[in-house]
Structure 1
Amino acid sequence: MSDLDCAPATKADVVAVKSELKSELKSEIAGVKAEISGVKSDLAASTRRLAHEIVKTNARIDRLSDDLRGEMRGLRGDVSKTMDVAVSRMETLWRESVLLPRVIDDHDRRISALEARPSR
């Protein structure tokens, strides 16, 4: 070892080391700030892209919802028409099931009366 390595540090040596460390720290801090700024920019760009995609997705969902509502209205109308036709047919069958036995009985009586009459 040389005498310089073992010599006690002078005030000038301490000031020089302090100045060098300050300079290196400032440089490192500037680098970290630059990296953080880049990360912030990337994050902001990603956030904008995600927000744009969310808006597009919401618009698509709204459009699908409107389409589905329209389809449901159409189906409800079709089902209502079909049910109306079925109910109308059932009412007709019910009326006929009530009226036809009476008509048949009436015809039976008239036929019996005609058969009972003397022939000419």
Structure 2
Amino acid sequence: MDVQKYLQRIEYTGSRVANLDNLNQLCWCHATHVPQYTLDLFGGEGKQFDLENIYHKIVQLGLGGFCYELNGLFGNLLKLLGYKIELLQGSCFMQSSDEFNFPFDHLLLKVCTLVYCV
């Protein structure tokens, strides 16, 4: 993965030092420059969950993706920049039925700097 091209894609021009301020800026740039394609999950072609294909789609083609693609690739970027990353899965809780709805889950990132975990 070409870190510089990824940072250009999200228009991040700040420091590459792994700290909380830079993490906040990286998250902001990623969230405001890469669209989330929620409907991507329904129909269409099969999903490729390897970083090379996701990088091609999001960085080289300038497209968006859904949470597993976006958070997976973004987590890899953060790891290359020196952050400690843990991938987590979350499920939606449906208040109407008072239960978790497992078909609808989400990929989350737990990110740590030397001082903070967010």
TM-score bucket (shorter structure): under 0.3
Tell which structure's C-alpha radius of gyration is larger.
1
Higher RCO, 1 or 2 (CA under 8 Å, sep at least 6)? 2
The answer to which structure has the higher strand fraction is 2
Q: TM-score with structure 2 length normalisation?
A: 0.16
The answer to which structure has the higher helix fraction is 1
